[in-house]
Amino acid sequence: MPRPARRLPDPRAMIVAPQPEAVEAGAAMLRAGGSAVDALLACAFTQGVVDPMMCGIGGLGVIQVFDPRTGRTSVIDGLSTCPAACAPAMWQADFQRECSDGYGYILGSRANEIGHRAVTTPGILRLFAEAHAEWGRGPWSSLMAPAIAFAEEGWIVRPHVSAMWTMDESGYGRLSYADKLRFTPEGRALYTRPDGTPKKPGETVRNPALAASLGLVARDGAEALYTGSLADSILADMRAHDGLLSAADLAGFRPRRVEPLLVSYRGYTISLPPPPAGGIVVAEMLRILEHFDLVAMGHNSAEYIRVLAEAMKIAGRDRDEHIGDPAFMPPPLERLLSDDYAAACAARIRAGEKASLTRLGGDSKHTTTISCVDGDGLVASMTHTLGVPSGVIPPGTGFMLNGAMNWYDPRPGRAGSIAPGKKRFSSMTPAIVFQDGRPVMTLGAPGGAWIGIAVLQALLNVLDWGMTMQEAVMAPRFSATSDSIDISNRIPRAVEKQVAAMGYGVRRNYHSFPFAAVHGITLFDGRIEGGADPQRDGYAEGVA
């Protein structure tokens, strides 16, 4: 029988995110005439309600926007900063070791991971305000309406939320999510059962205090958190528990507007956020891999895995050595992205040399992402996070504050060391791809240091292999964030044995976390298609 004709109208706009409630909020905003940025922000506010350990108004993030009216692509960096009370050596004597997976640093006191001294200056809400002021169409207060409704009426615990809440982090050296959920009386009341265990799939979470906080933000704007009543609540809690964050830290924070990092790849232009965000890692890998005929190797063949893994290790090593806050340490981007350096790296890979990457420092895999395109051609992509959640919910506010001090190296004199006002490198990489000056793809991923290598593979799957966006994000992936290679359980064991025979340590993973979770949209030939990584609970929704 012939295939049935398509009966759904082609969408003129689309949003994709890992949480179904957030996609619902964003799609409703598009249908109401909102811009891609309006939809993205409505989605993001809702994510903070229904994925409360991943993100929220106490967090940080990066957004990239292409505006067809001006032809300009902009990046706004809302990554958090160390409080002014910090000092480079303040935790040096308490330092024990790095986490075994490289995501943070272990102190004997755990003060950088849980509690009030773990909190950095949150940047995300002023980022939201700046993005809305430039690209929003609807009223500011409308952005919070879906989130307020979910907080008041409740949302059900989804499979991925439950998996994260119950995940054992002790093998990495970190405290568990359950410890963070239980840290405050507010957290215990919101997110745990009577026996202290996290709520299970299908159970409901209602958060009227968060609804009230979002109502203040809707009425008073972002300043509610930086100089208003929410700031008062945060600062009172900080004073009561010896926190580092001050009124001056909150009032003085400003997001940075920066030029995107542009790199060419096989005739396309990839636009990425520059340091301290993670675009440099993707850019460097693409520059190296352009020297290889990847298709001739076969998708996910042993040789393909070897070549990509070496590019991943080289970019990871360079990142650890050179990339921090550009305001404190200007990165050598010109050299790292030069033709000569890319060619030399490719030559070493071709000769069979193995790069050494014993440890990859980085940020938390506890992030989330959104990509959106509207009917006018505005393209927006954002990744945001709480970092390593601090567990701190200031009384009466309903939202958790970030714990991003865990990202900073307690040892002075390093690219990621502590310093007042300093930002830490973040792997977050919301990306936009252009062909002949027109956007043809936008994508991003949650997943810490795995973000860049997951975004890379999705890019290659579309640009080299011709996959659809959904095919690209569903295809089995692998990662090299150390000298060993993690491979998906969907990569055949015969390939695993071939890679091991090349002298690599290979770890087969049954779970998703080493491979991040890419979500994106393509716009080739004027047709919008979305892809949502099935590791998470979300989807792509088109609006006709």
Q: How confident is the model at residue 1 (pLDDT cuts 50, 70, 90)?
A: low
Give whole-number Cα distances, 225 to 85, 143, 220, 252, 389, in Å: 20, 16, 9, 12, 18
Q: How confident is the model at residue 71 (pLDDT cuts 50, 70, 90)?
A: very high
What's the pLDDT score for residue 361?
Answer: 44
Give per-residue pLDDT as tens, 222-280.
Answer: 999 999 999 999 999 999 999 999 999 999 999 999 999 999 999 999 999 999 999 99
Q: How confident is the model at residue 513 (pLDDT cuts 50, 70, 90)?
A: low
Is the model more confident about 4 or about 284? 284
What's the pLDDT score for residue 163?
Answer: 87
The mean per-residue pLDDT over the stretch 20-27 comes to 98
In the 8-state DSSP scheme, what is residue 417?
B
Give per-residue pLDDT as tens, 524-538.
Answer: 998 999 999 998 899
Q: How confident is the model at residue 10 (pLDDT cuts 50, 70, 90)?
A: confident
Give per-residue pLDDT as tens, 78-125.
Answer: 999 999 999 999 999 999 987 765 567 889 999 999 999 999 999 999
Give per-residue pLDDT as tens, 297-314.
Answer: 999 999 999 999 999 999
Where are the alpha helices (H) located in 277-423, listed in sequence order? 279-289, 294-297, 302-322, 333-336, 339-350
Of 125, 36, 12, 54, the residue nearest 369 (C-alpha): 54
The CATH code that applies to domain 258-363+433-535 is 1.10.246.130
What's the pLDDT score for residue 481?
Answer: 85
Q: How confident is the model at residue 360 (pLDDT cuts 50, 70, 90)?
A: very low
Give whole-number Cα distances, 148 to 154, 210, 493, in Å: 10, 8, 48
Q: Pick the catalytic residue from 367, 369, 385, 397.
A: 367
**What's the rounded Cα separation, in Å, for the pair 383 and 385?**
7
**Residue 29: is its pLDDT beyond 50?**
yes
Of 535, 391, 329, the residue nearest 450 (C-alpha): 535
What's the pLDDT score for residue 169?
Answer: 65
pTM of the full structure: 0.95
User: Helix, strand, or coil here: 238?
Assistant: helix
What's the pLDDT score for residue 329?
Answer: 86
What's the pLDDT score for residue 365?
Answer: 55
HSE, CB side, 13 Å, CA atoms: give it for residue 244.
Answer: 28
CA dihedral for 353, 356, 362, 368, sign (positive or negative): positive
What's the pLDDT score for residue 363?
Answer: 46
**Residue 170: is its pLDDT beyond 70?**
no
What's the pLDDT score for residue 398?
Answer: 98
What's the pLDDT score for residue 177?
Answer: 85
Give per-residue pLDDT as tens, 375-429.
Answer: 999 999 999 999 889 999 999 999 999 999 998 999 998 888 999 999 988 889 9
**What's the rounded Cα separation, in Å, for the pair 395 and 385?**
21
Residue 356, judged by CB atoms within 10 A of its CB (0-12, 13-18, 19+), counts as exposed
Does residue 367 have an active-site annotation?
A: yes
Give per-residue pLDDT as tens, 180-212.
Answer: 999 999 999 999 999 999 999 999 999 999 999
Average predicted confidence (pLDDT) for the chain: 93
What's the pLDDT score for residue 251?
Answer: 98
**What's the rounded Cα separation, in Å, for the pair 373 and 381?**
9
Where are the alpha helices (H) located in 10-139, listed in sequence order? 20-31, 36-50, 124-135
Is the model more confident about 322 or about 468? 468
**What's the rounded Cα separation, in Å, for the pair 246 and 151?**
28
Give whole-number Cα distances, 192 to 58, 223, 438, 462, in Å: 21, 31, 48, 42
Residue 202, judged by CB atoms within 10 A of its CB (0-12, 13-18, 19+), counts as exposed
**Residue 514: is its pLDDT beyond 70?**
no
The mean per-residue pLDDT over the stretch 12-16 comes to 97
What's the pLDDT score for residue 167?
Answer: 78
